[in-house]
Structure 1
Amino acid sequence: MTTTDTHTGARPAPPEGRDGGLALPPEEARQATNEHYELPSEVFMAFLDERVKYSSALYLTPGATLEEAQTAKLHFVAERLGLRGGECLLDVGCGWGSLTLFMAQEYGCEVTGVTPSTPQAEYVREQALRLRIADRVHIRVGSYSDLDIDGRYDAATMLGSIVHMPDRVAVLRKAYASLRREGRLYLSESCFRSAEVYREFASRPGTRHVTETIFGFADMVPFSQLIEAAESAGFSLERLDDLTAHYHRTIEEWERRAQANRERIEAAAPGMAEPLVRYLRTANAGWGYTSKHYALTAAKSRLGPKAAV
């Protein structure tokens, strides 16, 4: 059983691991994280877009709706991965299935989604049946670190999921092993803007409200640590995209919808509306000051990106 601080309800901060991250067994991290992700789907439907996509959108025009921006983001991920149609894709931390279902439906990919949450898995399977793409969608339930994943994939995605996994190097080595030669990885994550800021702000109350009270476990590190972990896993780095402004606008819209739908959120999960709104405000207040949101594209290639001819 995980103990809590009797005064604040927050978990004591776990010790640091060898790479500067938090040392926590993957199963304990999974159980802690599921306290958030196993909330009723109605909570997330009350403030996310119609695909229930719980990560940054991509606003290509000033007047774009959240739904349009989330669709643009999914096409952006497909472009970064070089998808042309029919590929075999691994979606680590598939959430409510937005990317898994989109790539199967729009690009004809065979997609394996991984989630630690049984309610999420059931939801994605139901949606795959509804969309008549169940033959192309396979959902694995459990901690990614503990699952047997073969090496047949053309591409892998991790959108906002590695923050919940204590051993980043091991996770990225596993992703590397799951890819065929020249396979690509798309990884996006919110992070502290520098190691100095990480040391200063990681234990502050606002940060711990997000990483522990809301998410159960999340180790939001400087992106340089994720780049180092990707390189240690064997990946060749291809691109780095700064999506901070897009995530700021995404969360603004999430907060607007959460405020407008407080009654729906409370009906689904009593007592959740206020912490959720506080989380969204805290997250948005830090962009550019303490935090950034980057996307990394990397390849399983010793030679790196091919030159244009």
Structure 2
Amino acid sequence: MADVAARLTALAEGALGAPLTVRIRAWDGSEAGPPDAPVLVLRHRRALRRLLWKPGELGLARAWVAGDIEVEGDLYEALERLSGLIWERPEQPGGLRPLDAVRALRDPAARRLAREALTLAGPGLPPAPPAEEAARHGGVRHTLSRDREAIHHHYDVGNTFYERVLGPSMVYSCAYWQQPGGTLEDAQEAKLDLICRKLSLGEGQRLLDVGCGWGSMVLHAAQRYGVRAVGVTLSTEQAAYARKRVADAGLTDRVEIRVQDYREVADGPYDAISSIGMAEHVGAAQYRAYATVLHGLLRPGGRLLNHQIARRPQEREERYRVDEFIDRYVFPDGELSPVGSTVALLEEAGFEVRDVEALREHYARTLRAWVANLESHWPEAVRLTSPGRARVWRLYMAASALAFERNRIGVNQVLAVKTPTDGESGLPLTRESWLTLTT
């Protein structure tokens, strides 16, 4: 077992068909690879067993969450260099598919790589997944009860933890960076105000915020635009936090927070509906029903602002779910669709889509700000949750920032109107009214 790092490097390069661009430090203290590259530290041979039993993204993620591997140096650079092994999965001329070589056992080179990997990993059953992994459920996704369980896994991990990550705004969606030197709080306020202006909110109107989180949108709309707002969430921790914020602001007569599924809302009509970072939880099979429910809750002429992450279109539409690591550790049952599919389904439900604004670069910058917040409060974040949970959030936010930067995923604000039969949408002829932050 001498010089494990050199053997691991040779193994990875054999699978990749190209030089490895990160340095490896193995559990025996040996190192190999480019001297100035980020270091991938394998603390235990158990990390290799995780990769062999689940080649690709999930095995690597489990090893990370469990603390079996670590990165020394710039995490973003390390993920960038590893992206071909994990997400992009390019076919290398003369090489084997990254991290799937051990599966191609009919290939002699793959059999050799598999034998070498098994020797290094040592005997033993596959390690148990880290405790932070979501329980797997059978049956139909996106029932009311299963959606509540999924939301509980992600959002009910402690409001103080989220305060440290999100900052004072407590907004958990893409910010809107109007100024190059602006703060995260400035950018989140600008995003909330942009949505209010797109919805043309005004004194006395009724606003429904679907997936209201910690209440930031309904508070902003009530304080700045005088609306009467209802926020619904499936997270009991979020609801308790939001209700306290509403009470502290003296707005209990104007803002109501409910623990309620959007499918259970029955007190329309509303003048406007905001859905900010919530529709990713709806599911492809339920999306038309989601759009129909929201359409039915609006008055004629009412507006919907749907703010949603989108994946890139694929030749075959068989995979709507998010990446396996995200599905297991971050957003269970989450699904991403192309923006074109979202627009089509909204219009099939009766909406007239009037505007689509892409904010991809804004989300990359937002995620980097959240990662910086988490890293600056790291000991407290670990204490508030667990080492594994904090590692999940750091990995998913850093990897997501790169995914937005590389145009693997995007995020869009879709403004839609329940246009009356007379065709009067009520929208201004130009966008100027949306472009300047209200003071």
TM exceeding 0.5 = yes
Aligned partner letter, 2:384? A
* Structure-2 change in CA distance of 1:47 and 1:198 (3 Å): farther
Residue 156, structure 1, aligned to residue 279, structure 2:
no
How far has the Cα of 1:47 moved from its partner?
1.3
Structure 1 segment 178-197 matched on structure 2, within 5 A: 178-196=297-315
Distance 1:229 1:308 in 2: 25
- Select 1:216's aligned residue among 312, 321, 332: 332
Q: 1:255 to 1:83 in 2, by over 3 A?
A: same
In the TM superposition, what is the alpha-carbon distance from 1:48 to its structure 2 partner?
A: 0.6
- Is the contact between residue 199 and residue 305 of structure 2 (CA under 8 Å) also seen in structure 1? yes
Structure whose alpha-carbon radius of gyration is higher: 2
For the 8 Å contact 1:34–1:216, the answer to whether it is kept is no
One-letter amino acid matched to 1:180: R
Residue among 35, 52, 56 paired with 2:174:
56
CA distance in 1, matches of 2:169, 2:215: 8
Change over 3 Å in CA distance of 1:26–1:225 after alignment to 2: farther
Q: Which residue of 1 aligns with 2:412?
A: 294
- 1:90 maps to 2:198: no
Moved more, 241-250 or 265-274: 265-274
Q: Does 1:228 align with 2:336?
A: no
Instruction: Sort the Cα spacing of 1:43 and 1:7 in 2 relative to 1 into closer, same or farther, 3 A.
Output: same
Aligned length, in residue pairs: 295
What amino acid maps onto 1:179 in structure 2? L
Matching of residues 1-309 of structure 1 within 5 Å: 7-8=128-129, 9=133, 23-145=141-263, 147-166=264-283, 167-196=286-315, 202=321, 207-271=323-387, 272-287=389-404, 288-302=406-420, 303=423, 305-306=425-426, 308=429
TM-score, normalised to structure 1, is: 0.88
Deviations along 1:116-157, one digit per CA (max 9) or x if unpaired, are 011111111111110101111111213222x13222210001
Instruction: Give, as a single letter, the amino acid of the residue that structure 2 aligns with 1:226.
Output: T
Would the aligned equivalents of 2:239 and 2:257 in 1 still touch at CA under 8 Å?
yes
How far apart, in 1, do the equivalents of 2:167 and 2:203 lie?
A: 25
Structure 1 unaligned runs (5+)? 16-21
Contact (CA 8 Å) 1:192, 1:198: kept in 2 or not? no
2:93 corresponds in structure 1 to none
8 Å contact from structure 1 (residues 194, 222) kept in 2: yes
Q: How far apart, in 1, do the equivalents of 2:277 and 2:327 lie? A: 13
Per the TM alignment, residue 29 of structure 1 is displaced from its structure 2 partner at its CA by 2.0
* 1:257-303 deviation per Cα after TM superposition (whole angstroms, max 9, x unaligned): 11111112112111321110001012112114320111100000052
> Hey, what's the Cα distance between the residues in 1 that align with 2:328 and 2:276?
19
Matched residue type, 1:156: I
How much does 1:79 deviate? 1.0
Aligned to 1:18: none
Distance 2:251 2:128 in 1: 49
Secondary structure of the structure 2 residue equivalent to 1:176:
helix
Q: Percent identity?
A: 28
Runs of 4+ in structure 1 deviating by more than 3 angstroms, as ranges, are 5-15, 195-203, 304-309
Q: Identify if the C-alpha distance between structure 1 residues 7 and 224 changes in structure 2 by more than 3 Å, giving closer, same or farther.
A: farther
- Native 8 Å contact 2:282 2:334 kept in 1: yes
CA deviations over 1:87-122 (Å, ceiling 9, x no partner): 110000000111011111111111000000111111
**Post-superposition CA distance 1:46-102 (Å, at most 9, x none):** 111312000011111100100111111111001111113331100000001110111
Distance 1:200 1:74 in 2: 32
Q: Structure 2: any 5+ residue segments left out of the alignment?
A: 1-125, 431-439
Q: Work out the CA distance in 1 between the residues paired with 2:382 and 2:413.
A: 33
Separation (CA, whole Å) in 2 of partners of 1:191 and 1:293: 6
Paired amino acid for 1:240: V
1:19 maps to none
Alignment partners' CA distance in 2, 1:237 and 1:253: 31
Q: Is the 8 A contact 1:33 1:217 kept in 2?
A: no
Partner of 2:43: none
Instruction: Indicate the larger mover: 188-197 or 255-264.
Output: 188-197
Shift of 1:201: 8.8
What SS does the aligned partner of 1:138 have?
strand
* 1:137-180 Cα distance to aligned partner (Å, 9 max, x none): 111213222x1322221000100101112311111111111111
Q: Partners of 1:201 and 1:172 in 2: how far apart?
A: 17
Distance 2:354 2:327 in 1: 29
1:200-239 deviations in whole A, cap 9, x for unaligned?
7957xxx122233112221112122211221121100110
